[in-house]
Structure formats: C-alpha cells, structure tokens
Amino acid sequence: MLFTRPKLYILFFIVAFGCHTGKHLTEYQITKDIVSDKAMVVTAHPFATQVGVDILKSGGNAIDAAIGVQFALQVCFPVAGNIGGGGFLMYRESNGKVHALDFREKAPAAASKDMYLDAKGNIIEDLSTFGHLAAGVPGSVDGMWEAYQKFSRLKDWKKLVKPSYEGAKNGILLTPREASGFNNNAEEFLKANGRPTVYGSQKWKAGDILKQTELAETLRLIMENGRDGFYKGKVADLIVAEMKKGKGIITHEDLENYHSKWRDPVLFSYRGYEIASMPPPSSGGIALLQLLKMTEKIEIQDNDWHKTPLTHYIIEAEKRVYADRSKHLGDADFYPVPIKTLTSDAYIKERMSDFNPTKASYFEDVEAGNAYESDQTTHFTIVDEEGNAVSLTTTLNGGYGSMVVVEGAGFLLNNEMDDFSSKPGTPNLYGLIGAEANKIEPGKRMLSSMTPTIISRDGRLKATVGTPGGSTIITSVFQTIVNIIDFKMNAYESVAAPRFHHQWRPEQVYYEDNCFTPETLKSLSIMGHSMERRGPIGRVEAIVVDKNGRLTGGADPRGEDDAKGY
C-alpha cells in the first residue's frame, strides 16, 4: 500500500489539569493504532477518549461512554464537538439488535422557504452560514438524554456529565490544532458576537490552559437537571436572549418542543457482511447502500486498490449516487423519500447500466434516477466489554458553527440551516446541490451526509466506523469499509489509507497526496476525469474486530484523534 503505519504519536505539554481525576498531567498521549482485549474508545481528542474509557472501566456500557464523550468534546473540541448542534447515533447491542437515534437540529417555527433570499430571489451571502439566523434548534442534549433513558447501564446521569463540567471549570490543555483554530478565527468570533468571547480572548498557543467558566455553569445545570437544564430555565433564557440580540429566530417554544427520534436503521448486506447505517434525514445510509451495492456487482482483487479500473468505476458510481442525493433525499417526516426504490436491486442495476469502462461521463449527462414514492464535524466509536457498539457522528456544520457563542452560557451555536436547500440548484457550504425534498420548513430536519455505520458478520460485531468531512463523509466511510472487507486492512490501515472523493457537482475528482501513482493519474485524466489534489479528506475513526476476536482501533493520522482501550 501507499501509506505508513506509525504506532504511537505523542504530544508533550508542561502542565495540564487532569480531565476529571483532580490530578495534574504533563502530557497527552495520542495513540493511533491499538489492540485491546475488552473495550475501546476512539475519538477526535485524547481528553474525550479518556473520559469514555474511564466510564467504561467504572461499569458503564457503550451508551454511557458515548454520553460522556459527547459532552467532553464540547469542552475540548469546540470546533465540532457540541451541545449547540446535533447528530446521529447508531447503537448495536451485543445481541445484534441495532438502533438509530436522530438528534439532528430542526428549523425553528419561524423559519420559511425563502428566508435566505433577497427581493430578487438571490441568496444573501453568509446569511445561512454566519451569525444568529444560521442556527437550527440544537438536538445534542436531548439526544444524549434520550439515549440515557433507554440504554444506560449506570443510571447515573451526573456521573456521565461531571468529567466535562470539571474540565470546563478547571481547564483543559490546548492542542496545537485547537490553539491555531482559535487564533485563525478570532476576527470571526468578534464579528459574530460583537464582544470578546472565551475562544478569541487572547493569542493562544499549544499547552495553554483553556478555562470555560460560563460553559461549566451550563454543564452544571445539565448535570443536575438533565434535559431540562438546557431546554428550560436559565440556559434556555440565555439562548433566546442571544437570538434577540442577533435577530435570530429560535424561541422558548422551539427549545421546549425539540425531541430527538428513534428511527429504523438502513440495513443491508455487502459480500456476506451485515451493514447498519442511518436513514433520512441523513443521506448517509442510503448513499452508502447504493455505493456498496454498485461495488458488489464487480469483482475486486487484492492488487486493485486505487488502480485505474476500480477507481474509474467508483467515481462513476459516486456521480450517480450524489445526483440521487440532490433530488430525492430530505427529512422523511416532511417529504416522501423513495427509500424502497432507491435501495432496490433493480434500481441500482439500472443506475450503472450506462457505465462506460473506458470513458468518464460528464456531470451534465448524469441526472438523478426516476425514483418516485416521491468540514467540520466529529465522529467517535466505542465498543464495551459486552460487545455493545456505538458509532456516533455529531456536528455544528461549519468549523465553530455560526461563530455565535451564547453569552452567559459559553457554547457555540450551529449553522445547520445551511444544510437545507436555500434555493434549489444552488450549492451549500460544501458544494452540495439540493431540491424540493430538502427545502426549508418549520420543524423540519435538514439533510445530512453523516454516516455512522456498524458492520457485523454471522451475528457478531465486525466493525464500527464513521467520520467528519461534510460532503466527503459518505465516500470516506465507503472507502474505509471497502478497505476493511475487500482489502483486508486492519483498523489503522483502513483509516490511514489515502482517499479520493467525487460528488457529481462540481466535476472535479478530489484526491489526497500519495493516493494515486502518476501513471494512474494520467490514465484517469485521459479517460476524461478532472483530477484535483487537495488537503486531508475526513478523519475516520474505526474499531475492527480481528480474526482472534480482539479489538483493533484506528485513529485517523490526519488529526489529533486518539484510540484507547483495555
């Protein structure tokens, strides 16, 4: 393969407050490639990973650990970790039962189809991505509360939130990436808030201690009052006050009326493996099913990895899948998403019937099929001692979301309203095109690309995988699964392998360094593909069960992601 496999990457700092033990640390140890016998946690940040491991060791199950990690990521990874955003959770019990929890944000009741358009019907620049009006009603706290009510083993909510409360109150160590993120966005924080915020309050450097007093108070209220600590009372008052200051539209009623929802997961097979992923309003599960079913139609040899014929076929499959996404997918509570048609063998076969093995199709020639019934996110994976598994993807949408920090509450609000189709046919923040299925409507959940996925074989857990990355999430998860199943890679190999991405529009095929040989790039270009090198694609987290039943963890080397187990 074209990638290396370092075993351990360590960040050294001088002083850091222990995440919840009351002890002082001198370093973060970031492990990328690990094997464990009992349990494992892989997240975007070592603080969050350690919180999850400690909860597992104290007797919690994968859901308990997931709740702890979700709150911890708000403290240590605010670029994407959140209580002001939302996401999707896939949970596989050790007995094989799979559950899908949708805690995606919703459009406020005062939202309207043309709210981001001017009098001439043109999109008003930045209105759906920056500032108060860009925020949807947050779902993360309700989602964690719902998961806790249904599946917690510890039944001790305070114990799950307390590590994050203490981390916010006493301070956590800043990594180089997070310090750089704060500094690079200091002007945007000031512009969005009209006042200094904790993230833009100074020139940060790696090793500084970040104390978040206002956030700590918010977490204390959530710790003591559960869901009501966020959607009612002081925190709700602060959110609504913030909205009024910035001409936002989230109200007390929007907050009180928000509820996450258990949905039927997308279930299918690929080469004898059982795949479970998210249904709408995530496009991930259906798109992943289509890609894998299209790929299942062809034979893959060990030496096909990133060679011209297979790469060409995958690019062509991605074009068709993303064309379907643009037209047919949205919140199934508001639009008759043609799930049965989109996932049928006959439809998938027909979609690839015009595939030309020697020539690229142009996006103008690829349209959505007739199926009528009608880059900043974060992911973590957890497997506990009983074999229960969580795959959870959560987001604010863009990096630091709307850039709005709720005054007095200390957390960022999302800019998820941009994931709706503000105007049919017009690209969003990630270049994705949408249509009627994803138009803005009050109370509706916006379409997402998040693809938390769990894989089984013969009734036993095989892997749990997911990634951030906006529009690249689906293709990154797809390629990781192909790496695991078809190319027999272990967890770290599968996430470290270079990736490529195509999404129908724009026409470019994006690829990472060392993804293709010069010969492959030349041959793909001759076939008509527009190849463009870009920076890192996704940050995949994976746990894979090896042939001996051990857990192998892979934390993506593209970030400060960390895997720990025991």
Residue appearing with tokens 């806790």: 148
Find the catalytic residue in 308, 377, 378, 393: 377
Residue of 17, 148, 24, 135 lying closest to 76 (CA atoms) = 17
Q: Does residue 350 come out as left (phi exceeding 0), alpha (psi in the -120 to 50 range) or beta?
A: alpha
- Find the distance separating the first CA and the last CA of the chain, reported in whole Å: 29
Give the number of other Cβ atoms within 10 Å of residue 164's Cβ. Answer: 33
Question: Could you give the angle at the alpha carbon of 137 between the alpha carbons of 133 and 138, nearest 5°?
Answer: 120
Tell me, what amino acid is at 461?
L
Report whether 437 contacts 445 (CB < 8 A). Answer: no
Tell me, what amino acid is at 175?
T
- Give the SS3 label for residue 538: coil
Structure token digits, residue 275: 């795949």
The CA distance from 120 to 197, in Å, is 36
Kindly report the length of the chain: 566
Give the 3-state secondary structure of 13-63: EEEEECCCCCCEEEEEEEECEEEECCCEEEECCHHHHHHHHHHHHCCCCHH
Report whether 312 contacts 529 (CB < 8 A). Answer: yes
Give the number of other Cβ atoms within 10 Å of residue 187's Cβ. Answer: 11
Q: Does 377 qualify as catalytic in the annotation?
A: yes
Q: Does residue 528 come out as left (phi exceeding 0), alpha (psi in the -120 to 50 range) or beta?
A: left
- For 69-92, b/e burial (b = at least 16 CB within 10 A) is bbbbbbbbbbbbbbbbbbbbbbbb
HSE, side-chain direction, 13 A CA sphere, residue 86: 30
Residue appearing with tokens 């599960």: 285
The CA distance from 269 to 292, in Å, is 9
Residue appearing with tokens 């000031």: 190
Catalytic residues, by residue number, are 377
